[in-house]
A and B are shown apart, each in its own frame.
Chain A
Amino acid sequence: MTVAEFNECVELYTDAVFRFILKSIGRSHDAEDIVQSSFEKMWKKHKDIQAAKAKSYLFTTAYRTMIDEIRKSKFNTTVDHNDRTEADTINNHPGAKEAIQYGLQKLPEIQRSVLLLRDYEGYSYKEIASLCELSESQVKVYIFRARKFLKAFFISIDNVI
């Protein structure tokens, strides 16, 4: 990848990877750090990376960096399915965007990641499997569970409102 291609990659994918990370961890400052760190890692190896695979490399790096940061700082905000309470959702997140964000944060980390990659970035199941080092079947299982949970989550909000 040339310098120009790297810069083009910055232009094309920065916002997307930032959205992905922000929606995953819910903290803007941490998301910015992870995006910056991911691009720095990619820059160090930019000569070895093919331009066609730059996006995949970037998201993979960002995802792994995020996982590392989550484990390092232990700010895992995910909540087990059994712990979720609909009352908290309603009281703390009256807006739709905030409700979505809150619902996402209640998803297990891996479910949230694969769902965002699928819905936000349009990755195929195969691509997501490669990116997250999972089997394609596992990806589908996680995405199914995430969709099922979010549907139930919003139905509960709607009923309460």
Chain B
Amino acid sequence: MKITRENYEAFLLDRLEGNLDPLNEQLLVAFLEKNPDLNEHLEKTDLLYLSPDLNIIYPDKSSLKKRTLFVSLNKYLLRYASVAAVLCIAVLGFLYWQNRPVKNLPASLESTTTNSAKTYEKENINPAQVIAENTIKPSINHKPVLHASAQITTKPEHNDIEGEVIMPEKTNSFFTLQSSKPDLIESKENNTRDLLALSAPALMPVEYSNEVNNQALHGVAALLAYNVGNTVLPESISHDLGIDNKTANIDDITLVVETNNKLINRLLANVK
């Protein structure tokens, strides 16, 4: 680069800072000698250098920063999460209140309803379908009766009436409705139909049955026996039962109930 009056100071600066190569230094000296008004620069002189004043700081540095997406989201997420948490607690509380256990319900019935539900769920059995298969359609109005009747506590009074079912003494027996009183016997068909409908939800594999359920099954069996009297059982059923005597009686049918629930369905179909 040629040294001129416009740029000679750049060369002077480089020389003072020790960055000028010997060739350019010779050229610079020659240039200064040719320009008498610049002779003062022939001698090297120190220049003034500044150092920063570190005490000078920006007053509010944090105001210049930007919030990250995470922080922004967090702010809103926390707000919505707290609302959601309150709602969840409210919903859970409401559900618990809705499904809270009834203290006055007898323990046996409570376990029955619970086990029945579990059993249907486990066995994939639709109670309505069971009823339909039995061709006995329950009335909606009967359902509450199932619970109510389970609280009835009676015990068979007589066993000397011909054709009457001899029930083992049980408390909370579902089918103790079927007393030996003549007026009830008169309407036995209606009672049987109704009670079968009512008991349909209780029909479940024996291995899952509890005491109350067994009582219900006993009751079904008893009603069947009562209804059919000494009717001869179909051979297929008696074969399945392994019963030599083809005459139905309470013990046999009870055995059916306790042995295999599928047979119960066949029996119910036969009763019709």
B82 within 8 A of A: no
* Contacting residues of chain A (1-34) with chain B, CB-CB under 8 angstroms: 3-4, 6-7, 10-11, 14-16, 18-19, 22-23, 32
Are the CB atoms of B7 and A148 closer together than 8 Å?
A: no
Secondary structure at chain A's binding surface: helix, strand, loop or mixed?
helix
Residues B66 and A3 in contact, CB atoms below 8 Å apart: yes
Is the beta-carbon distance between B64 and A36 smaller than 8 angstroms? yes
Please determine whether B56 and A19 come into contact, CB atoms closer than 8 angstroms: yes
Given A3-B69, A4-B68, A151-B46, the answer on whether A15 and B56 have CB atoms closer than 8 Å is: yes
Q: Is A116 an interface residue (CB 8 A)?
A: yes
B64 touches A140 (CB 8 A): no
**CB closest residue in chain A, given B66:** A3
How far in angstroms is the closest Cβ of chain A from B23? 17
- Number of B residues with CB within 8 Å of any CB on chain A: 30
B9 with A140: CB separation less than 8 A:
yes
B12 at the interface (CB under 8 A from A): yes
- Say yes or no for A64: interface residue by CB 8 A criterion: no
The chain A residue with its CB closest to the CB of B50 is A119
- Which of B7, B56, B64 is the one whose CB lies under 8 Å from A137? B7
- Beyond A19-B53, A32-B59, A151-B47, whether A144 also contacts B9 by CB under 8 A is yes
Within 8 A of A (CB), among B1-50: 1, 6-7, 9-10, 12-14, 45-50
Determine whether the beta carbon of A148 is less than 8 Å from that of B47.
yes
* A10:B9 contact, CB within 8 angstroms: no
Q: Does A131 contact B (CB under 8 A)?
A: no
B235 CB to closest chain A CB, in angstroms? 86
Q: Report if B51 contacts A (CB, 8 A).
A: yes
Whether, in the assembled complex, A47 has its beta carbon less than 8 Å from a beta carbon of chain B, the answer is: no
* B9 and A14 within 8 A (CB): no
Judge whether A154 and B9 touch: CB under 8 Å.
no
Chain A residues 76-100 with CB under 8 Å of chain B are 97, 100
B residues within 8 A CB of A14?
58, 61, 64
**Ranked 8 nearest A-B pairs via Cβ:** A140-B10, A147-B47, A119-B50, A151-B48, A144-B9, A144-B13, A18-B58, A120-B52
The 24 sampled A-B contact pairs (Cβ below 8 Å) are A3-B69, A6-B66, A11-B61, A11-B65, A15-B57, A18-B58, A19-B53, A22-B56, A23-B56, A32-B59, A35-B58, A43-B66, A97-B53, A119-B49, A119-B50, A119-B51, A140-B9, A140-B14, A141-B6, A144-B13, A144-B47, A147-B48, A150-B48, A151-B46
Q: With A97-B53, A141-B13, A144-B12 given, can you name 18 additional A-B contacts, CB distance below 8 Å?
A: A3-B68, A6-B65, A11-B65, A14-B58, A15-B61, A18-B58, A23-B53, A32-B58, A32-B59, A43-B66, A100-B50, A115-B50, A116-B50, A119-B51, A119-B52, A140-B9, A144-B10, A151-B46
